[in-house]
Each structure stands twice: as C-alpha cells, then as structure tokens.
Chains A and B, each alone.
Chain A
Amino acid sequence: AQSVTQLDSQVPVFEEAPVELRCNYSSSVSVYLFWYVQYPNQGLQLLLKYLSGSTLVKGINGFEAEFNKSQTSFHLRKPSVHISDTAEYFCAVKSPSNTGKLIFGQGTTLQVKP
C-alpha cells in the first residue's frame, strides 16, 4: 500500500528566508508525486508534479522539488519566501495504475513571518 508522510506539521520561517517542506513516501511500485497548496477555505492548487524524467521539478510561485528515489523523498523548496506563501501544503502520491486516486500526506502549515 502507498503512504505519504510529511515530517513537519508546522514550519515557521521569516520572510525572504529559504524553506524546505519535507515529504517521504512508501510504495512498492513507481509513483507520480505532487505538491499542492491550499489557502484558507479554498480548494487545492497544483504547485508541481513529478511524473518521470528530470528529478528536479520546477513549479509555480518559485517552488521546486527534487525526487529522490533511493530516499523515497520529494521535498519542496523555495529559496526566498513571501508573506503570501503562508498556506497549507500537501504532498500526494499516485500510482500510475488506472484508478487515478491520490494519497495525501497530513499537510504542513507554512507560516511566513515579517
């Protein structure tokens, strides 16, 4: 069975500092990996995804993530955060099989302080 673990429930950081949100997954098959952002009382917006190819994936809003198969990780990074990046971030995994189901991590609250 697949699972996703986001290692930090909350990450406080000062504005313009770099940030890393950690995500580890477990799966016995190859997977697709996603990072989503959720602002209060809103749905999810896709930040970036890894399907295949280059292990460094660039997304929207200056975020990037690196797929590390040996460590089964897909950590999200941004070199300099803004106040507007304050939100909930979810890592998710999907098997390339036919169901299309996503398995979500528990979420990480990014709090950017001035």
Chain B
Amino acid sequence: GAVVSQHPSRVICKSGTSVKIECRSLDFQATTMFWYRQFPKQSLMLMATSNEGSKATYEQGVEKDKFLINHASLTLSTLTVTSAHPEDSSFYICSATEDRSEQYFGPGTRLTVT
C-alpha cells in the first residue's frame, strides 16, 4: 500500500515552454501533497505544500507564478513549470500524506530544459 506515482519520469522541453508534472496517490487519499526539488548531489528542498481544494503554500524564495501547483482531488496534484529556463532543470519529487504522520514519496521527475 501507500504508493505514489509521478508522470512523466523524464521530460525534455525547450526554453520558454511550460511543462506539467503529475503526482498521484494510487491507493490512499492524500489530504496533503508536498513538492520538492533536488539538485545533483544535494538534499531535497521543499518548494510548496498543497492541500486538497485550497491554494498551495509556497516556501520562501519559491516563485508561485513560475511553479503553479494544483491539488484538485484527493489523489492528484500537479506542478506546472511555466516559461521554463535551463536553470529550472532539476529532479522534482512529490510526496503525499493521508494524515500528515508519514509522507510517501513518488519516484521523481527529471526535467531538462534546453
């Protein structure tokens, strides 16, 4: 149980375009989902916390207009990177929790902006 999927696993896009990453909880209802960014050889940096049906809460320094987060249902949250630039290239990981006691992590999405 407690499986979280992400789609796509890898995406390459051109500079200036937007890309959407999906995060799904497959066998539980996720009241809260988290989005992280991870640079090579570094730790996870929390970008935002997303509660179903409400606006996401962004961490300091994260541009909410650039990283659009939607949590429209209890099993799906999406992260849209708008007007992507090469510096947005990174590994994006989501996690989901049913009761905030434990987070279950997705497999990650490798974004490369050319």
B contact set with A: CB distance below 8 Å = 4, 6, 32, 34, 42-44, 46, 49, 91, 93, 95, 97, 100-108, 110
Contacts and interface: CB of A to CB of B under 8 A. Distances in A.
Contacts of A44: 44, 93, 95, 105
A99 B105 CA distance: 17
B102 A107 contact: no
A101 interface: yes
Contacts of A105: 43
A110 B4 CA distance: 26
Interface of A: 32, 36, 41-46, 49, 51, 90, 98-102, 104-107
B44 A99 contact: no
Contact of B103 (A51, A98, A100): A100
Contacts of B101: 32, 51, 100
Contact of A43 (B46, B100, B108): B108
Contact of B43 (A32, A41, A106): A106
B73 to A, nearest CB: 18
Given A41-B110, A105-B43, A98 B102 contact: no
Pick the 10 closest A-B CB pairs, nearest first: A100-B100, A43-B105, A44-B105, A43-B107, A104-B43, A43-B108, A107-B43, A106-B43, A104-B44, A43-B106
